[in-house]
C-alpha cells in the first residue's frame, strides 16, 4: 500500500474526527475528472514534464488519478477532504478551523511542499494524486462550510422524488448531470476549458492560496443556504425545485473551471521551482 504524504498526531486526529462531517466524496469521481481535464488543457510545458515524470502516460483525468484519494481509507486522511469554516465566519482561521493541521487547506499545503521539495518518488506520486483530487474538493462549496456537517445532514427531496438525498449529495452528483449530459467527463472538462481560455482565467490562476479558495467556496455555501431558507418542507425534508440542478449549473461549472485553472497554475509553479532547485545542484 502506498503511504500518504503526512501523518497526524493521534490527539489532533481525534479532535478533528469529533467535529468533522461524515466522509463524503465531492463532485463524484466524474466531477473530479472534469476538473482534472480542465487542468490538462492548461498545462504549461514545465507542468507537463512534471506530470509525465509522476504519471508516465496516464492522464491526470484518469479515474485512477483524479478519484484515487477517495479510495484511501487511512483514518488520518479523513479530514483532509474538507474544512469546517463556521457558517457565520468571514473566512478561514487556521487555529480554529484546522485543528492539528487536519483539514483540506493544510493537506494541500503539505502536498505542494512534498511535490516541490521531496525526494521520494512514491511520496511525490501520492502527493500529486492528493493535490489533483483536493483541488476539486476545495471548490465544492459544502466542503468549506461546517453547517449540517457539510450539508450531509440536511435532507432534501424534489416533489416527484421518492427518496430523500442530502444537500451534499445533491451537489456531489445531481448538479453535475446537466454538465455531463450525453458526454463523458473528459469531454465536458475540455469544453469548460475552452470557455475560460484568455484573460478571463487570469484572476483565478493568479490566486495560489488554498485558504483563499476555501474562503470563496465558503462564501458560495453561505449564498446557497440563504437561498434555501424560503423553500417549503415536507416533514424533515427540504423540498428543492425539480429544476434545482439546472439552476445551479452555471455555479457548478464555474467552480470546476476555477479548480482546473488553479490546479494547472499551481503545478506550473511547482514544476518551475523544482527545476530551478535541480539546476542549482
Compare 47 and 232 and report the one with higher pLDDT.
Answer: 47
pLDDT tops 70 at residue 281: no
From 152-161, 166-175, 206-215, 257-266, the region with the lowest mean pLDDT: 152-161
Mean pLDDT of all residues belonging to the chain: 89
Q: Report helix angle 104-117 to 121-137, nearest 10.
A: 140
Q: State the pLDDT at residue 235.
A: 82
pLDDT tens digits for 153-165? 999 998 877 789 9
pLDDT tens digits for 55-101? 999 999 999 999 999 999 899 999 999 999 999 999 999 999 999 99
Compare 175 and 6 and report the one with higher pLDDT.
Answer: 175
pLDDT band at 25 (very low <50, low <70, confident <90, very high): low
Domains detected in the chain: 24-195+202-274 (1.10.575.10)
pTM value is: 0.89
Amino acid at each position: 500500500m502506498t503511504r500518504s504524504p503526512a501523518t497526524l498526531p493521534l490527539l489532533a486526529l481525534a479532535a478533528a474526527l469529533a467535529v468533522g462531517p461524515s466522509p463524503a466524496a465531492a463532485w463524484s469521481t466524474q466531477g473530479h475528472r472534469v476538473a482534472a481535464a480542465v487542468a490538462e488543457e492548461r498545462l504549461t510545458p514545465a507542468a507537463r514534464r512534471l506530470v509525465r515524470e509522476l504519471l508516465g502516460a496516464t492522464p491526470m483525468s484518469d479515474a485512477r488519478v483524479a478519484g484515487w484519494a477517495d479510495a484511501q481509507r487511512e483514518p488520518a486522511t479523513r479530514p483532509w477532504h474538507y474544512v469546517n469554516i463556521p457558517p457565520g465566519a468571514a473566512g478561514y482561521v487556521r487555529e480554529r478551523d484546522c485543528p492539528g493541521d487536519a483539514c483540506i487547506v493544510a493537506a494541500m499545503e503539505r502536498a505542494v511542499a512534498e511535490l516541490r521539495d521531496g525526494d521520494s518518488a512514491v511520496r511525490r506520486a501520492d502527493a500529486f494524486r492528493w493535490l489533483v483530487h483536493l483541488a476539486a474538493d476545495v471548490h465544492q462549496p459544502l466542503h468549506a462550510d461546517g453547517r449540517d456537517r457539510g450539508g450531509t445532514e440536511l435532507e432534501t427531496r424534489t416533489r416527484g422524488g421518492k427518496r430523500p438525498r442530502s444537500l451534499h449529495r445533491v451537489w456531489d452528483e445531481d448538479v453535475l448531470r446537466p454538465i455531463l449530459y450525453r458526454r463523458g467527463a473528459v469531454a465536458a472538462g475540455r469544453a469548460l476549458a475552452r470557455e475560460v481560455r484568455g484573460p478571463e482565467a487570469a484572476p483565478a490562476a493568479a490566486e495560489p492560496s488554498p485558504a483563499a479558495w476555501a474562503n470563496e467556496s465558503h462564501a458560495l455555501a453561505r449564498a446557497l443556504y440563504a437561498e434555501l431558507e424560503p423553500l417549503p418542507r415536507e416533514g424533515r425534508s427540504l423540498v428543492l425545485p425539480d429544476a434545482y440542478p439546472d439552476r445551479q449549473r452555471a455555479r457548478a461549472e464555474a467552480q470546476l473551471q476555477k479548480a482546473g485553472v488553479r490546479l494547472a497554475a499551481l503545478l506550473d509553479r511547482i514544476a518551475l521551482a523544482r527545476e530551478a532547485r535541480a539546476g542549482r545542484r
